[in-house]
Amino acid sequence: MCAVDIDFFHKFKEVVEQIGKTGNEYATAKSNSWKSQELKGSVLASIIKSLGDIPVSKAEIQARTHEDYIKHLNETAEAIRKELQLKASYEMWKSSFEALRSLSSLEKATRNLTGE
């Protein structure tokens, strides 16, 4: 195995490891984001319930301005941001793999043409 092959092997290995690592982190972030988005109604309902016996429309208005609801929305936004950042990173590593694969194929074809 020539030095170029060994270099490509190590680069492929690193990229594949990063795809696996980032893919797992992205999956976790996506599930956390989904859970937070799904809990939005539960958080709102819990706050409405805690406000006591007032008309639902008034309770909903108060609940939507409640600090716990706003905090949940901010946490949800952060979870979505993290999910999207990890998705971008995951896609970048996948693209790196494809670029590396193309370079490796080009190198192999060049060696075949030059008889190396």
Contact 26, 90 (CB under 8 A): yes
Question: Is 60 exposed, middle or buried (CB count within 10 Å of its CB: 0-12, 13-18, 19+)?
Answer: middle
Contact 22, 90 (CB under 8 A): yes
What would the pLDDT profile of 51-87 be if each residue is shown by its tens digit? 999 999 999 999 999 999 999 999 999 999 999 999 9
Number of domains in the chain: 1
Q: Which domain holds residue 99?
A: 31-114
What would the pLDDT profile of 7-41 be if each residue is shown by its tens digit? 888 999 999 999 999 999 999 999 999 999 999 99
**Residue 66 lies inside a defined structural domain of this protein:** yes
4 confidence band (pLDDT: 50, 70, 90): low
Residue 102 has pLDDT above 60, yes or no: yes
Distance CA 28, CA 21 (A): 11
Question: Is 74 exposed, middle or buried (CB count within 10 Å of its CB: 0-12, 13-18, 19+)?
Answer: exposed
